[in-house]
Structure 1
Amino acid sequence: MKKKISFSGKGNSTSVGGAPINRFLPSWQAKAVGPFILLDQAGPIKVVGKKTGGTGPHPHRGIATLTYSIKGEVEHFDSLGNRSLVSSGGVQWMNSGNGIVHDERSGASGEFSQKEIYAFQFWINLPSKIKEEKPEYLPLQAKDIPEKQLAEDAGSIRVLVGDYQELTSKIPTYTEQFLFHIKINPGKKFSMDFPQKIEVATVLPTDSAIINTESFNAGELVAFDKEAGEVEIENLSDLAIDILLFGGENYTEPIVSQGPFVMNSEAGIALAYKDFNEGKYGEIDYSSKR
Structure 2
Amino acid sequence: MRNIKAIHKTVYSPVDDLETFRAIPTQSINYLDPFLFLNHHGPQFYVKNNNGLPFGPHPHRGFETLTYVLKGDIAHQDSTGGESVIKEGGIQWMTAGSGLIHSEVSSQEFMQNGGKVEVIQLWLNLAAKNKMVEPNYRGLTFEDICHFDLDGGKVNVDLISGNWDKHKGPIDSLSNLTMASIRLKADARLSLEVDEKNEILFYLAYGELVVNATEIQKHQLVQFENKGSEISIKANSDSYLIFGYGKPFNEPMVAQGPFVMNSQEEIMAAYADFRSGKMGKWR
TM-score, normalised relative to structure 2? 0.94
> 1:222 offset after TM fit, Å?
1.0
- Give the match for residue 261 of structure 1: 259
> 1:80 offset after TM fit, Å?
1.0
Whether contact under 8 Å (2:33, 2:250) holds in the other structure is: no
> 1:18 offset after TM fit, Å?
4.2
- Give the match for residue 167 of structure 2: 167
Whether contact under 8 Å (2:191, 2:232) holds in the other structure is: yes
> 1:20 offset after TM fit, Å?
2.2
> 1:111 offset after TM fit, Å?
4.5
- After superposition, the C-alpha distances for 1:10-39 in whole angstroms (9 at most, x for unaligned) are 111113354221110112333222411001
The counterpart of 2:247, out of the listed 233, 246, 249, is: 249
- Give the match for residue 49 of structure 1: 48
Counterpart residue type for residue 19 of structure 1: L
In structure 1, stretches of 5+ residues that fail to align are: 286-290
> 1:109 offset after TM fit, Å?
4.7
**Alignment of 1:39 onto 2:38:** yes
User: Structure 1 residues 29 and 248, CA, compared in 2 at 3 Å: closer, same or farther?
Assistant: farther
User: Structure 1 residues 18 and 259, CA, compared in 2 at 3 Å: closer, same or farther?
Assistant: farther
Q: Which stretch shows the higher mean deviation, 171-180 or 220-229?
A: 171-180
Whether contact under 8 Å (1:53, 1:108) holds in the other structure is: no
- After superposition, the C-alpha distances for 1:213-272 in whole angstroms (9 at most, x for unaligned) are 1112221111111113211111123xx221111221112121011000000111110100
- Give the match for residue 274 of structure 2: 276
> 1:210 offset after TM fit, Å?
0.7
Q: Which stretch shows the higher mean deviation, 111-120 or 211-220?
A: 111-120
Distance 2:112 2:147 in 1: 29
Counterpart residue type for residue 160 of structure 2: L
Counterpart residue type for residue 252 of structure 1: N
> 1:54 offset after TM fit, Å?
2.6
Counterpart residue type for residue 101 of structure 2: V
Distance 1:99 1:16 in 2: 23
Distance 1:28 1:44 in 2: 24
Distance 1:252 1:206 in 2: 31
Counterpart residue type for residue 91 of structure 2: V
Distance 2:187 2:253 in 1: 42
User: Structure 1 residues 92 and 108, CA, compared in 2 at 3 Å: closer, same or farther?
Assistant: farther
Distance 2:63 2:226 in 1: 23
> 1:124 offset after TM fit, Å?
0.6
Provide the secondary structure at the position in 2 that maps to 1:57: strand
- Give the match for residue 26 of structure 2: 27
TM-score, normalised relative to structure 1? 0.92
Provide the secondary structure at the position in 2 that maps to 1:134: coil
Provide the secondary structure at the position in 2 that maps to 1:56: strand
Identity across matched positions, percent? 30
Distance 2:188 2:104 in 1: 37
Whether contact under 8 Å (2:69, 2:89) holds in the other structure is: yes
User: Structure 1 residues 60 and 154, CA, compared in 2 at 3 Å: closer, same or farther?
Assistant: same
> 1:93 offset after TM fit, Å?
1.2
Whether contact under 8 Å (1:80, 1:284) holds in the other structure is: no
Counterpart residue type for residue 187 of structure 2: G
Counterpart residue type for residue 3 of structure 2: K
Provide the secondary structure at the position in 2 that maps to 1:97: coil
Distance 2:257 2:129 in 1: 21
Aligned residues: 282
- Give the match for residue 213 of structure 1: 213
Whether contact under 8 Å (2:203, 2:241) holds in the other structure is: yes
- After superposition, the C-alpha distances for 1:51-106 in whole angstroms (9 at most, x for unaligned) are 41331111000011111101111010111122110111111111111110000012
Distance 2:103 2:192 in 1: 36
- Give the match for residue 98 of structure 2: 98
> 1:172 offset after TM fit, Å?
2.7
Whether contact under 8 Å (2:79, 2:281) holds in the other structure is: yes
- Give the match for residue 288 of structure 1: none
In structure 2, stretches of 5+ residues that fail to align are: none
Whether contact under 8 Å (2:8, 2:29) holds in the other structure is: no
Distance 2:156 2:81 in 1: 36
> 1:153 offset after TM fit, Å?
3.2
Whether contact under 8 Å (2:254, 2:260) holds in the other structure is: yes
Whether contact under 8 Å (1:193, 1:228) holds in the other structure is: no
